[in-house]
Amino acid sequence: MLIALLPGDGIGPEVIAEAVRVLAAAGARDLVFETAEVGGAAYKASGHPLPQATLDVARRADAILFGAVGDPDCDRLERHLRPEQAILGLRKELGLFANLRPAKLFPELADASALRPEIARAIDLVIIRELTGDVYFGQPRGLRKTDKGLREGFDTMRYDESEIARIAKVGFETAMARSGRLCSVDKANVLETSQLWRDVVMEVSADYPEVELSHMYVDNAAMQLVRAPGQFDVIVTGNLFGDILSDQASMCVGSIGMLPSASLDSSAKGLYEPIHGSAPDIAGQGKANPLATILSAAMMLRYSLGQADVADRIEAAVSRALETGHRTADLGGNASTTAMCDAVIAALG
């Protein structure tokens, strides 16, 4: 199995190194790693955030383990040269339209949640975020001058029905494998894109009579996520709303440093990454929480590599490491990135 390792920028290389250590210690089988540059690091080395060589490795690989991209030095570059284009380009080029972002409270972290422990304890949900459409990719977009000579920026929110139907199916299938409840989040009271979204999700629901479907406006969903997050099981939503709601959900379970993700196409191929970014404010200081990336590696074993047994062992070890009190600063502790990972490895037993 070829794993493309794309560490990227900021804390990306720090957390990827720890995830690789855990994969080895947990006894993951038959993995060959190939590392490639991506993001600001790739731009600085070769003038492009997603060099052809990196895209080639990603295409050849059975799975991709991705750190993070983003570099303040690059924020004023032309858009197509910015580090973020690397992850957007990989998602689009590889057709990774389904982004699974599970948020489950490790009971030991009830007091790290931004919510009261009795509310946080109920959280066990997954956000299914559409990843290759929406206002992220809609055309036209740009910056221009209006007739009055004012600067104007514009983007296009758009989905066609096939894009909505295929992510809705992932939502229904996921709900079938869990509690049988699916909440579709949109802004159909204002946006045409969302009206179509809602109509198509309802049409697809005809094939899943066992699933209890509900709809919620995104502003209400943001509120409900902190009021009573236990009501959610599977949430399906568009690219932009899913981006925002998943950062919010991460803090409900303790930290942005806790949430892993899988970005899947319609086969077993996937890209696995923490939901957080390159965290330039703490990069190079040994402070980053590596657990989101370690849990992403576990998702990779489960979804792309057929090694659910090893994935289970890693997830149990994360839980035990937290039980024994190890915490990075984002969780209110003082363990370094490496010490946190050492605790996970020790807990593998």
By beta-carbon proximity to Mn ion, the closer residue of 94 and 256 is 256
243 near ligand IPM, judged by CB under 6 A: yes
Is 187 a residue of the active site? yes
Among 17, 88, 157, 176, binds ligand IPM (CB under 6 A): 88
Residue 285 marked as a ligand binder: yes
The amino acid that residue 262 corresponds to is: A
Cβ at position 232, least distance to ligand NAD in Å: 22
Is 243 a residue of the active site? yes
By beta-carbon proximity to ligand NAD, the closer residue of 211 and 299 is 299
Question: Under 8 Å CB-to-CB from 243, ≥6 apart: which residues?
Answer: 129
Give the residue among 348, 290, 347 at the shortest CA–CA distance from 324: 347
**Distance between CA 106 and CA 109 in Å, rounded?**
5
**Distance between CA 75 and CA 81 in Å, rounded?**
9
Q: Note if the bond before 72 is cis, omega within 30 degrees.
A: no
Residue 277 marked as a ligand binder: yes
R_g over Cα of the chain:
20
Cβ at position 42, least distance to ligand IPM in Å: 15
Is 160 a residue of the active site? no
Residue 71 marked as a ligand binder: no
Among 4, 275, 305, 331, binds ligand IPM (CB under 6 A): 275
- The tokens describing 112, both together, are 């790290």
160 near ligand NAD, judged by CB under 6 A: no
- The tokens describing 181, both together, are 């409840």
Q: Which alpha helices (H) appear in 26-51, and where do they start and end?
A: 40-46
Instruction: Please work out the total of residues on this chain that contact ligand IPM, with binding judged by CB under 6 A.
Output: 6
Among 37, 108, 163, 243, binds Mn ion (CB under 5 A): 243
The upper half-sphere exposure of residue 38, i.e. CA atoms within 13 Å in the direction of its Cβ, equals 29
71 near Mn ion, judged by CB under 5 A: no
Cβ at position 179, least distance to ligand NAD in Å: 28
Is 73 a residue of the active site? no
Give the residue among 148, 336, 163, 345 at the shortest CA–CA distance from 237: 163
Residue 101 marked as a ligand binder: yes
The sheet with strand 270-274 has its strands ordered as 32-35, 2-8, 63-68, 270-274, 260-264, 98-104, 124-130, 234-237, 181-186, 212-217
Instruction: Provide the 10 A C-beta neighbour count for residue 16.
Output: 25
Among 175, 288, 295, 321, binds ligand NAD (CB under 6 A): 288
Residue 281 marked as a ligand binder: yes
**Distance between CA 97 and CA 87 in Å, rounded?**
13
- The tokens describing 267, both together, are 């086969």
Residues 252-271 that bind ligand NAD (CB under 6 A): 256-257
Identified catalytic residue from 43, 136, 208, 272: 136
Residue 221 marked as a ligand binder: no
Residue 219 marked as a ligand binder: yes
**Distance between CA 297 and CA 273 in Å, rounded?**
8
Bridge partners (DSSP) listed for residue 25 = none
Which range, of 64-72, 92-100, 192-200, 213-221, touches ligand NAD by CB under 6 A?
64-72
Question: Rule CB under 6 A: which residues touch ligand IPM?
Answer: 84, 87-88, 243, 275, 277
Specify binding-site residues for substrate: 91, 101, 129, 219
Specify binding-site residues: 91, 101, 129, 219, 243, 247, 277-289
Q: Which residues are catalytic?
A: 136, 187, 219, 243, 247
Question: Rule CB under 5 A: which residues touch Mn ion?
Answer: 243
Question: Rule CB under 6 A: which residues touch ligand NAD?
Answer: 11, 68-70, 84, 87, 256-257, 273, 276-282, 288-289, 292, 330
